């Protein structure tokens, strides 16, 4: 690894990949600010429109001369300002990308995204290196799923968790007011962190909901589920349930896939082989029907699927998450311009009584295509979340609304 | 109508009925504050648990000695703090209620709710009067649907509209980022006001979404809908759609009812004969499937149903809505304790360049069982909402987040 202290001549490109978050533009602006602050960096700062798609088409937006007020407004805007992509580049695609990068004299490549994105970043970096083209490539973490290894947590999670916590606090008050069974389906394909965030506004030792929480880390069984609901109804006269879109049975088959098959639907998959989970109310409606079938049609049963609001709602973000996303972007720019060739920025918590984090470089290969899961000790009886998670997650979310329950 | 200036001796009861809102507790607290401020009122202030259910069972909560800080916290809490009910009282039920009211020496009856609730208020008032029992009965308006006649708008609408506007602003940014067809199903059984609020964050004359808006006031046709979507996709490469849960065909049959019948589902109805619309993703999924069938399975189509988050989300409320809900409650207490026997408080806009409202007494019979609709001149081509609505609704919602689009 070369470690020249003078930045390379040439330009920088930034891409935003995968699902949007409330703070992915903070990271974009953080990279821009980090490049402006880098001694000796005098190149252009380009944004690739729709990530890898823009890089394959030479579709770039020049961000070099953006003033601070516009950058600040962009940073506070949810979703990926440059546009995103779920395209998984083929070997030929990567060759086209590196051709464009060389043509535009791109010497710094920043890619903001999840573990699929860090893998794309690695492939582009390796292809450029094999070409003998010197380019520094950095991945900036982002995912509401919070499932990147070696990271204490990821930018985007805190804000999505805040949305979920506030939504569930409100829905618990709604369910108190008009009693019955309420099922809320929350994002999370393999990791239950976001669904676990449903408990963050719950007062311990009270009848506050959610009363049942199901995450992908524990096998899901419909019969046990309906029994859990019945027991909760007997106890509280109401039942608020938070359930991950990614729940699966003991064989590992996602409920969403089983369901689509049962209903004779086409199962839609993305370029990475993931089946469609979000953007449909089918899982919630299926679970509601299962409860009605078991408990009788007199029981009031409702299901909501929080959907894309969790990642893109305008006006609800965690301040800690916003700051960390910005600093993760700046750190990537600092590392890349200080001569380090590639890596991913990991947010790692500093042990101690007060909350604090460090931004450390890890290898791209360490984060690519791996998934972090909710620790088993935070899952209670396969249908609830314990205090360990609350202690972990509250500092990431910040203050929640104060409500008065009668 | 007697108009004695001295308050009646005796106590007051307050109920909260129908679907919760973000500000129905403001009205509850407003009534409490209005009673405390009424010269000569020295009785108890009771809250009926779960509205009519609590009144039939004598299940009251004493709010008389609540301190201001607790009242303020309650006012800022979404959903109905006392609990709600959708029960429609029978003649026998009303007799039981008046018996309890007489036993508890209740001389002021306040009922916060929509048009069904004002009717309940009227029936209770008439039954008490027929008994020769002197009691003043007032209705305080509440509904996210904004469909009460003689009211410029209703408490609850502004906050739900703000939630919808912010959700759609975010989802428009999400849809820009990962292009495709996105359908958002919004509350509104007979009135399209809340769905119309989807346009409040849209900049006129740009490619901002929503690109298509369907409300119950215009007949819905699935074929025309899919053609509208295709035309929008051709124009913008993406299509964001806001659609009311209450859309119906030219015959007046709700799509949700047709759909349930097609799928062989049991159609759930409440005590007022309304079919279940909220708490299911079925309508959104049906419309998504219709688009896929028409445009081919390669088109990325997603549907979200905003559900109960629109009325109960903790932490998003319109300040104007909060203030008006509180003042409507106070006004009801003022009117009732100033000797007026019954009525409903209507929020009416003062004509002029700056926004302002008056709180006026109207007859209970004027508001009961009637529905206000979105004026026809605000509906454009049966698939969009015009500037007239924006001018009307923006003052009710207040400031929206500032976002930067690239």
d(C-alpha A134, C-alpha A111), whole Å: 17
Q: How would you class A109 by CB atoms within 10 Å of its CB: exposed for 0-12, middle for 13-18, buried for 19 or more? A: buried
| Confidence grade of residue A125 (pLDDT, cut at 50, 70, 90) | very high
Cis peptide before A86 (omega within 30 of 0): no
pLDDT at B280: 80
Q: Do B304 and A304 touch (CB under 8 A)?
A: no
Per-residue pLDDT reduced to its tens digit, A20-47: 999 999 999 999 999 999 998 999 999 9
The two beta strands, B342-349 and B301-305, are unpaired
Q: Inter-chain contact A402–B201, Cβ cutoff 8 Å?
A: no
What is the residue extent of each domain of chain A? 11-155+317-367, 165-314+374-397
Give CA–CA dist B177/A359, Å, rounded.
27
Question: Could B70 and A404 be called an inter-chain contact, meaning their C-beta atoms sit closer than 8 Å?
Answer: yes
Q: Across chain A, what does the average pLDDT equal?
A: 93
Q: What is the DSSP string of B319-342?
A: HHHHHHHHHHHHHHHHHHHTT--E
Chain A's closest residue to B265, CA to CA, is: A289
What is the C-alpha separation between A62 and A25, in angstroms, rounded?
15
Helix, coil or strand: residue A54: helix
A262 shares contact with chain B (CB less than 8 Å): no
The Cα–Cα gap between B296 and B299 comes to: 6
Residue with the two structure tokens 């008046």 = B98
Under 8 Å between Cβ of B144 and B194:
yes
The verdict on a CB contact (< 8 Å) between B19 and A61 is no
3-state SS assignment for residue B141 = strand
User: Residue B280: which of A173, A303, A400 has the nearest Cβ?
Assistant: A303
Contact status of A285 with chain B (Cβ, < 8 Å): yes
B271 inside 8 A of chain A by CB? no
Residues 6+ apart with CB under 8 A from B106: B10, B11, B12, B13, B46, B100, B135
Does B16 contact chain A (CB < 8 Å)? yes
Q: How far is residue B36's CA from residue B74's CA, in Å, rounded to a whole number?
A: 17
B76 in contact with A, Cβ within 8 Å: yes
User: Which chain A residues are within 8 Å of B169, Cβ to Cβ?
Assistant: 314
**Which class is B157-314+374-397 in CATH?**
alpha beta
Q: Which of A20, A83, A174 sits opposite B20 (nearest CB)?
A: A174
In this structure, what DSSP letter does residue B62 have?
Answer: E
Superfamily of domain A165-314+374-397: Phosphofructokinase domain (3.40.50.460)
Q: Does B47 touch chain A (CB under 8 A)?
A: yes
* Closest residue of chain B to A62, computed from CA coordinates: B406
Closest-CA residue of chain A to B292: A266
Structure tokens at B235: 């124009």
- Interface contact B173-A78, CB threshold 8 A: yes
Q: Does A311 touch chain B (CB under 8 A)?
A: yes
Q: What one-character-per-residue DSSP string does A66-133 give?
A: --HHHHHHHHTS-S-TT--------HHHHHHHHHHHHHTTEEEEEEEESHHHHHHHHHHHHHHHHTT-
With the CA atoms of A186, A192, A195 and A197 taken in that order, what torsion angle do they form, in degrees rounded to the nearest 10?
-150
Report d(CA A259, CA A248) in Å as an integer.
11
User: What is the per-residue pLDDT across A62-106, written as a single tens digit (0 to 9) for each?
Assistant: 999 999 999 999 999 999 999 999 888 999 999 999 999 999 999
Q: Which two tokens stand for residue A167?
A: 């939504």
A245 confidence band (pLDDT: 50, 70, 90):
very high
Would you name the residues of B annotated as active-site residues? 145
Record: contact B79-A309, CB cut-off 8 A: no
Q: Does A271 touch chain B (CB under 8 A)?
A: no
- Least confident range from A12-16, A51-55, A271-275: namely A271-275
Per-residue pLDDT of chain B (406 residues), as tens digits, is 444 556 788 999 999 999 999 999 999 999 999 999 999 899 999 999 999 999 999 899 999 999 999 999 999 999 999 999 988 899 999 999 999 999 999 999 999 999 889 999 999 999 999 999 999 999 999 999 999 999 999 999 999 999 999 999 999 999 999 999 999 999 998 999 999 999 999 999 999 999 999 999 999 999 999 999 999 999 999 999 999 999 999 998 888 888 877 766 666 676 667 777 777 888 999 999 999 999 987 889 999 999 999 999 999 999 999 999 999 999 999 999 999 999 999 999 999 999 999 999 999 999 987 899 999 999 999 999 999 999 999 999 999 999 998 8
Q: How far is B282 from chain A (nearest CA, A)?
A: 7
Same fold, B11-143+318-367 and B157-314+374-397: yes
Nearest CA in chain A to B22: A170
Whether A171 sits inside 8 A of B308 (CB atoms) is yes
When pLDDT is cut at 50, 70 and 90, the band that residue A243 belongs to is: very high
Q: In the CATH hierarchy, which fold is given to the domain comprising B11-143+318-367?
A: Rossmann fold (3.40.50)
A401 contact B CB<8A:
yes
Give rounded-to-5 percent helix, strand, coil for chain B. Answer: 40, 15, 45
Sheet holding A212-214, edge to edge: A212-214, A239-244, A181-186, A301-305
DSSP annotation of A294 reads H
CATH topology of domain A11-155+317-367: Rossmann fold (3.40.50)
CB of B136 closer than 8 Å to CB of B334: no
Query: Cβ distance A362 to A344 under 8 Å?
Result: yes
Chain A hits for B47, CB-CB cut-off 8 Å, are 406
pLDDT at A368 over 90: no
Question: Which residues of chain A does B243 touch, with a Cβ-Cβ cutoff of 8 Å?
Answer: none
Q: What interface predicted TM-score (ipTM) does this complex get?
A: 0.95
Alpha-carbon dihedral sign for residues B345, B194, A317, A192: positive
> Catalytic residue among A53, A116, A145, A147, which?
A145
Which positions ≥6 away from A354 have C-beta within 8 Å?
A: none
Average pLDDT of the residues in A240-261: 90
Q: What percent of chain A has pLDDT over 90?
A: 85
- Does A37 sit behind a cis peptide bond, omega within 30 degrees of 0 on the bond before it? no
CB contact under 8 A, B281 and A305: yes
Residues A178-234: tens digit of each pLDDT: 999 999 999 998 999 999 999 999 999 999 999 999 999 999 999 999 999 999 999
What is the rounded CA–CA span in Å between residue A305 and residue B306? 8
Q: What is the pLDDT of residue B277?
A: 73
Compute the C-alpha angle B249/B188/A170, nearest 5°: 145
What whole-number percentage of chain A has pLDDT above 70? 96
């Amino acid at each position: 690894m070369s470690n020249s202290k003078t930045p390379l001549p040439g330009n920088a490109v930034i891409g935003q990949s995968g699902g949007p978050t409330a703070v992915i533009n903070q990271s974009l602006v953080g990279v821009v600010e980090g490049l402006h602050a880098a001694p000796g960096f005098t190149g252009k700062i380009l944004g690739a429109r729709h990530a890898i798609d823009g890089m394959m088409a030479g579709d770039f937006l020049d961000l070099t001369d953006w003033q601070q007020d516009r950058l600040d407004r962009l940073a506070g805007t949810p979703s990926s300002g440059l546009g995103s992509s779920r395209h998984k580049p083929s070997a030929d695609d990567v060759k086209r990308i590196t051709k464009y990068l060389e043509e535009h004299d791109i010497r710094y490549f920043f890619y903001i995204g999840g573990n699929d994105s860090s893998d794309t970043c690695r492939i582009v970096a390796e292809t450029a290196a094999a070409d003998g083209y010197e380019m520094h490539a950095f991945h900036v973490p982002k995912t509401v799923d919070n499932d990147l290894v070696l990271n204490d947590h990821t930018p985007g999670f805190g804000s999505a968790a805040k949305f979920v916590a506030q939504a569930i606090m409100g829905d618990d008050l709604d369910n108190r007011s008009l009693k019955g069974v309420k099922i809320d389906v929350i994002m999370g394909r393999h990791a239950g962190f976001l669904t676990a965030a449903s408990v963050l506004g719950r007062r311990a030792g009270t009848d506050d909901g959610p009363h049942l929480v199901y995450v992908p880390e524990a096998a899901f069984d419909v019969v046990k589920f309906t029994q859990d609901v019945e027991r909760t109804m007997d106890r509280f006269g109401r039942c608020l349930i938070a359930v991950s879109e990614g729940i699966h049975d003991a064989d590992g088959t996602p409920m969403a896939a089983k369901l689509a098959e049962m209903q004779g639907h086409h199962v839609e998959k993305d370029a990475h082989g993931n089946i469609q989970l979000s953007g449909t109310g089918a899982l919630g409606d299926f679970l509601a029907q299962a409860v009605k079938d078991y408990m009788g049609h007199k029981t009031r049963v409702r299901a909501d699927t929080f959907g894309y609001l969790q990642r893109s709602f305008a006006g609800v973000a965690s301040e800690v998450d916003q700051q960390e996303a910005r600093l993760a972007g700046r750190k990537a720019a600092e590392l890349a311009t200080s001569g380090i060739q590639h890596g991913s920025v990991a947010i790692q918590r500093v042990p101690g009584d007060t909350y604090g984090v460090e931004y450390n470089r890890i290898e791209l290969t360490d984060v690519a295509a791996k998934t972090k899961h909710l620790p088993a000790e935070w899952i209670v009886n396969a249908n609830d979340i314990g205090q360990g998670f609350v202690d972990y997650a509250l500092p990431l979310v910040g203050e929640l609304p104060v409500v008065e329950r009668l």
